[in-house]
Amino acid sequence: MSRNSADVVVIGGGVVGCAVAFELAQRGCTNVTLIERDTVASGSSGRCGAGVRQQFGTELNCVLAREAVRIFERMDEYLDYKPSVEFRQSGYLMLAFSDHQWEQFLANVALERSLDIDVKTLTPEEALKIVPFLNIDGMVGATFCQEDGHANPFHTTFAYARAARRLGVEILTHTEVTGIEVEKGRIRAVVTDRGRIATSTVVNCAGAYSGHVAAMAGIDLPVWGERHQILITEPVEPIMGPMVISFHHDFYCQQVPHGSFIMGIGMPGEPKGYNIHSSVDFLEGMARSLRQLLPPVAQLRVVRQWAGLYDRSPDAQPILGECPPVERFFNANGFSGHGFMLAPIVGVIMAELVTTGSSSIDVNRLDAGRFARGELVLEPAVVG
Amino acid sequence: MTQLREVDIAVVGAGPAGLAATLACGESGAATLLVDYMDAPGGQLIKQTHKFFGSERQFAGTRGIQIPAIFMERLSKMPNVALMWGANASGYYADSGVLTLEDGSKFVKVKAKRVIIATGAAEKPLAFENNDLPGVYGAGAVQTLMNVHGVKPGDRVLMVGSGNIGLIVSYQLIQAGVEVVALVEAAGCIGGYLVHAAKLRRAGVPILTSHTVVRALGEETVRGAVVAQVDQSWQVIPGSEREVACDVICLAVGLTPLVDMMWQAGCEMKYVPALGGHVPVRDENMRASNPAVYVAGDSGGVEEASSAMISGEIAGISAATSLGFEVKEADARLSRLKADLAAIRSGPTGEKICAGIKCATVCGGEW
Amino acid sequence: MEIALYSHFAQGREDSGRPLGRLRPNVVRLKDHPILEFPTGREVEFTFNGKEIEGIEGEPIAAALHAAGVRILRHSPKLGRARGFFCAIGTCSSCLMTVDGVPNVRVCTEPLKQGMVVETQEGHGHLPID
Amino acid sequence: MAVREKTADGSIVICRCEDITLSEIRDLIAQGYHTIDEIKRVSRAGMGPCQGRTCRQLIARELAAALGVPIEQVEMPTFRPPSRPVLLSTIARGEADE
């Protein structure tokens, strides 16, 4: 550890932490140290399905998602990264299986179009034109946005990390934060198992462990880990473009550029916690949902199953911004499964807040204080 | 949901270790399930045409391929023992203790109180130019093709590695009418028993120590190989390259334990070169760090089939007694078995293995 | 101690009767072995890239192909390198072929049946979606 | 010079499933990827159907040599289920007949 002081210490080497560190350095704040307990992208960023979508049910989420897609579209050049973050806009196909759900979808589409996000509403037959082997029994309708897509989570995170390093950010891997010194509401230092770093500013991007990190600064932050399981199949030549999502079945599935299919389902009753072992119940439930919704894909072999943690917040919405009562303790966590897709714009917003105190997109409603005030944000378009 | 089968002890792998473990569990009365993805029991034994030596308890004088039948004769008479062939153990889920089995058309879930992992070992890979050309095979693959399916692997074989497997497979190739063009060994001396090496020399096979393969020749299939002399730190001596005509390059550069089930079970693992690579840390009764998991045979460290049978029996007795099943004079049998194991390991190549086993055993011998 | 040199061998000078410059694989089935007896199942026919081949019912497809002198089972997706029989225990990806239209079949452990349509797999293989 | 047939280009293949050569692995180590997990994520080596059974040992040896540490100290990734690829339709069927 070459420096023992930094203007800003970013905690967490996932895609959010690396994006924040890069955007800070972009704005001239280069005396930044990023601390990662394991290796870059070893946490949820390296375990997620890495979909990128703009189809949401609240204005703020739509705006954040739209701006993130704008950055994804030019990311290789923006971060000067080779080979590529492999961002591909093959679309999201969202399936509705009840009238109630369809009404919600139509409301979402109206909101999305008002924010010039190009989303189409489709009849089941039209959806078949996009995914010919989709089982449309019981389907009421679908929405489709071609600009939504998928990126390689590893390359995206490494791209931000390498770009941040080039601008002078120090990234300490295999280093664990053990304490945050706070005096009279002001941060003095971040203590790690490899030494102490004096700083006045911390950005908490520790994902599911953000609650633990906040507690080190004496802050009660309602963010916890929730296991989500996922599997990948053997690769085959491309046959399915979009990500297919059904909230009704708590199901998502996508064929990625490599040719393999990545998929997951929500597991009802998943307890709070940090267990990321795989379960056979997930494997069976996934195989059955897949056989029902995308029958031919069940002819593929699963090569590997694993799990990662959502950093859950009470309303499954991000927690962004400064976090009283401690000055300059900033949160960028609580994404509840959308951290990867929002990371590019979250990096920008957090860097703006840290360097100027305000941000181009107003995220005050996503502050940590909302829970105490009872002003939860309700987002209908979320996979379980 | 698939209904869940319940057993006291599941044994994964029906090679010498798994067969011996299952017999011990069966004798104790425990409800035991033995599974193997092959269509018949035996594992490495079904490829071993040579006669075993050692004490009579370890089938001395019997050929490897005859041993499975001896175990099966007794196991088939035990009502508390179930056998499943052609069933691959695809997953072990430590949280729920569920072992999943599949045979390509059915998917079976088994809840086992104890699991004995006896999945054996596989060839170590070797990095040389064009090492992925068709015609480059592991020695196990050559044995399977030849001894199990009766198909000649090729016409002219370059054998890489002079451990027992390299020597024995070379002799089996000659028995099958295949020419072994040469046997190269990177170390300065022959690794396996000299009795096997002598048989090869008598058959006219050149054994080149301090030599290795550096390149496979051929556009899309092996047509030849480049071998070269190496120094003590296995660096190629420039200018010593020579081409050899062959259509098969058979890799026998050592085995490494197949331990993915132990990783899945969350067992504490350790890299022990003398045992072939990563192995589970275990106690003297073959129990791994996960108390529900026992290890037996080559998957706990590469030795020989006779040691595999002993460690299998130890694991079987320990797993059964850990569930409260009665095993007649268990302690006496265990100490005799450990003495047999020590005797086998006292041979010339045993020294390194003893050190390796000690290194892989939890200190004090108990968890 | 003379090791047949590669070039010398490839020229066919080594074995009379072999056409010049080509190593023709005359791999045959082992009939008599001092110790082993081999499976003697029913003979079945199957096709490999459209060519009719015989094999023994139930033996791995790879064994039947090998006995017929077939070495190349697929070409790898990224670099297009030839791949063939390798691990024989169904864990590697070297022998993935398309069998009866289904891609990524491990022919080293897939039992042979009468009338199977076996094809070399180029790249990832195509999943049938009709 | 004896006439000899064309031969493959001499690449040393470390990961057969994902076609990763030794020179690619060495480049990545030189770029600062110093664990097997990082090399796996950036190059996919070890993500193929064999789950790294072949390449993880060869990569561990390269890392040990490059970082000047014994192989014992190279952190190994875990193995995840399934031990061999399994048809999802088989899993969905369970023990039921066709």
Is B184 exposed, middle or buried (CB count within 10 Å of its CB: 0-12, 13-18, 19+)? buried
The verdict on C9 touching B (C-beta cutoff 8 Å) is yes
| Whether pLDDT at B51 is above 80 | no
Q: Does residue C126 sit at the A interface (CB-CB below 8 Å)?
A: yes
Neighbours of B249 (CB within 10 A): 30
For residue A299, give the chain C residue with the closest CA.
C127
Q: How far apart are CA A379 and CA B217, in angstroms?
A: 62
β partners of residue B99 = B92, B110
| Euclidean distance between CA atoms B361 and B270, whole angstroms | 10
- pLDDT above 90 covers what percent of chain B? 81
- Provide φ and ψ at B261, rounded to 5°: -65, -35
How, if at all, do strands A32-35 and A170-172 pair? parallel
**Is the pTM for the entire model greater than 0.95?**
no
Chain C residue with the nearest C-alpha to that of B206 = C1
Q: Is A106 helix (H, G, I), strand (E, B) or coil?
A: helix
Instruction: Indicate if the pLDDT at residue B300 is higher than 50.
Output: yes
CA–CA distance, D3 with A36 (Å, rounded to integer): 57
Residue D11, chain C, CB below 8 Å: the answer is yes
Are A133 and C102 within 8 A, CB to CB? no
| Residues of chain D scoring pLDDT < 70 | 1-5, 98
**C22: its two tokens:** 């080509």
Outline where D1-98 has alpha helix (H). 22-30, 36-43, 55-67, 88-93
Look at B91 and A279 and tell me if their CB atoms are within 8 Å: no
Residue of C39, C72, C109 lying closest to B150 (CB–CB): C39
Q: What order do you get walking across the sheet with A8-11 strand by strand? A: A170-172, A32-35, A8-11, A202-204, A329-333, A319-322
Q: How far apart are CA A342 and CA A72, in angstroms?
A: 10
Question: Between vectors from CA B300 to CA B296 and to CA B306, what angle results, nearest 5°?
Answer: 55
Phi, psi torsion values for D80, nearest 5 degrees: -115, 155
- Average of per-residue pLDDT across C47-63: 94
ipTM: 0.92
- Write out pLDDT tens, residues C12-32: 333 333 233 323 334 467 777
Q: What is the mean pLDDT of residues B36-47?
A: 86
- Taking CB atoms and an 8 Å limit, are C92 and D84 in contact across chains? no
The secondary structure of A29-97 as a DSSP string is ---EEEE-SSSTT-SGGGTS--EE----SSHHHHHHHHHHHHHHHTHHHHTT-SS----B---EEEEE-
- The per-residue pLDDT for B365 is 80
Which position has the token pair 């199942």? C41
The minimum CA-CA distance between A134 and chain C, rounded to whole Å, is 10
Interface probe for D, chosen from B110, B271, B275 (most Cβ of D below 10 Å), is: B271
Contact across the interface for D2 and C87, Cβ inside 8 Å: no
Per the listing, tokens 């195509």 go with C126
CB spacing of D83 vs B218 below 8 angstroms: no
| Under 8 Å between Cβ of A134 and A294 | yes
Distance from CA of C106 to the nearest CA of A (A): 11
**C38 in Cβ contact with B149 (< 8 Å):** yes
Contact A301 D86 (CB under 8 A): yes
Q: Is the dihedral of CA B13, B15, B17, B22 positive or negative?
A: positive
Concatenated DSSP letters of C91-117: -SSTTEEEETTEEEEETTTSBP-TT-E
Per-residue model confidence (pLDDT) at position B63: 82
Question: Is the Cβ pair D4, C21 closer than 8 Å?
Answer: no
Count Cβ–Cβ pairs < 8 Å, chain B vs chain D. 107
Express each pLDDT in B119-167 by its tens digit. Answer: 999 999 999 999 999 999 999 999 999 988 889 999 999 999 999 899 9
Average pLDDT over residues B346-362: 89
Nearest residue of B to residue D74, measured between CA atoms:
B271
A239 CB within 8 Å of a chain B CB: no
Which residues of chain C make contact with D18, given a CB cutoff of 8 A?
Answer: 78
- Examine the pLDDT at B333 and tell me if it is beyond 60: yes
* pLDDT in the model for residue B70: 92
B223 close contact with D: CB closer than 8 A: yes
Q: Which residues of A touch D38 (CB under 8 A)?
A: 39-40
Is D49 close to C78, i.e. CB distance below 8 A? no
Residues 6+ apart with CB under 8 A from D73: D64
Alpha-carbon span B258 to B301, nearest angstrom = 9
Q: Which residues of C, range 67-96, sit inside 8 Å of B by Cβ?
A: 67, 71-73, 76, 81-91, 94
- CA atoms of B250 and B265, how far apart (whole Å): 33
Position C26 scores a pLDDT of: 40
Within 8 A of A301 by CB-CB distance, chain B residues are none
Instruction: Report pLDDT for C62.
Output: 96
Averaged pLDDT for residues C49-56: 94
D8 to chain C, any CB pair closer than 8 A? The answer is yes
Out of A29-38, A109-118, B302-311, B344-353, which region has the weakest mean confidence (pLDDT)? B344-353
Which of residues 252 through 311 in chain A touch B, CB cutoff 8 A? 275, 277-280, 283-284
* Whether C83 and D84 lie within 8 Å, measured CB to CB: no
User: Residue C8: pLDDT above 60?
Assistant: no
Q: Which among A36, A44, A154, A234 is the top mutation candidate for probing chain D, defined by the most D β-carbons within 10 Å of its own β-carbon? A: A154
- Predicted confidence at residue B55, as pLDDT, reads 64
Cβ neighbours of D86 in A, within 8 Å: 301-302
Residue D93 and residue D95: Cα distance in Å, rounded?
6
Alpha carbon of D75 to those of B94, D44, D47, D57, D61: distances in Å? 22, 17, 17, 11, 12
Q: Do D4 and C10 touch (CB under 8 A)?
A: yes
Position C35 scores a pLDDT of 72
Pairing mode, if any, of strands C74-75 and C51-56?
Answer: unpaired
Structure tokens at A382: 């979320």
User: A42 at the D interface (CB within 8 A)?
Assistant: yes
- Min distance D7 CA to chain A CA atoms (Å): 29
- Which phi and psi (to 5°) does residue B276 adopt? 105, 0
- Inter-chain touch B96–A278, beta carbons under 8 Å: no
Side-chain-side CA neighbours of residue B131 (13 Å) = 24
Give the pLDDT confidence score for residue C20 in this predicted structure. Answer: 31
Taking the Cβ of residue A309 and every Cβ of chain D, the question of whether any pair is shorter than 8 Å is answered with no
DSSP C19: P
Compare CB distances from B271 to D53, D72, D93 and report the shortest one's residue: D72
Size of interface A-B (CB pairs under 8 A): 21
Of the partner residues C21, C78, C91, the one whose CB lies closest to the CB of residue D53: C91
The pair of structure tokens assigned to A333 is 């966590």
Q: Is C125 within 8 Å of A297 when comparing Cβ atoms?
A: no
D-chain CB neighbours of A283 within 8 Å are 81, 91
The CA dihedral of B78, B79, B80, B81, to the nearest 10 degrees, is: 60
Question: What are the chain A neighbours of D49 within 8 Å (beta carbons)?
Answer: 234, 301, 303
pLDDT at B200: 95
pLDDT of residue C10: 34
Q: Which two tokens stand for residue B240?
A: 């010593």
Rounded to 5°, the CA angle B158-B303-B260 comes to 90
In the prediction, which pLDDT does A115 show? 97
Residue appearing with tokens 């997706």 = C77
Q: How confident is the model at residue B64 (pLDDT cuts 50, 70, 90)?
A: confident
- Interface check for A83 against chain C (CB to CB < 8 A): the answer is no
Query: pLDDT averaged over consecutive 10-residue blocks of chain A (384 residues)?
Result: 90 98 97 97 96 95 97 98 96 96 96 97 98 97 97 97 98 97 97 97 98 97 97 96 96 95 96 96 97 97 97 96 95 97 98 97 96 88 60
Angle A339-356/A15-26 helices, nearest 10 degrees? 30
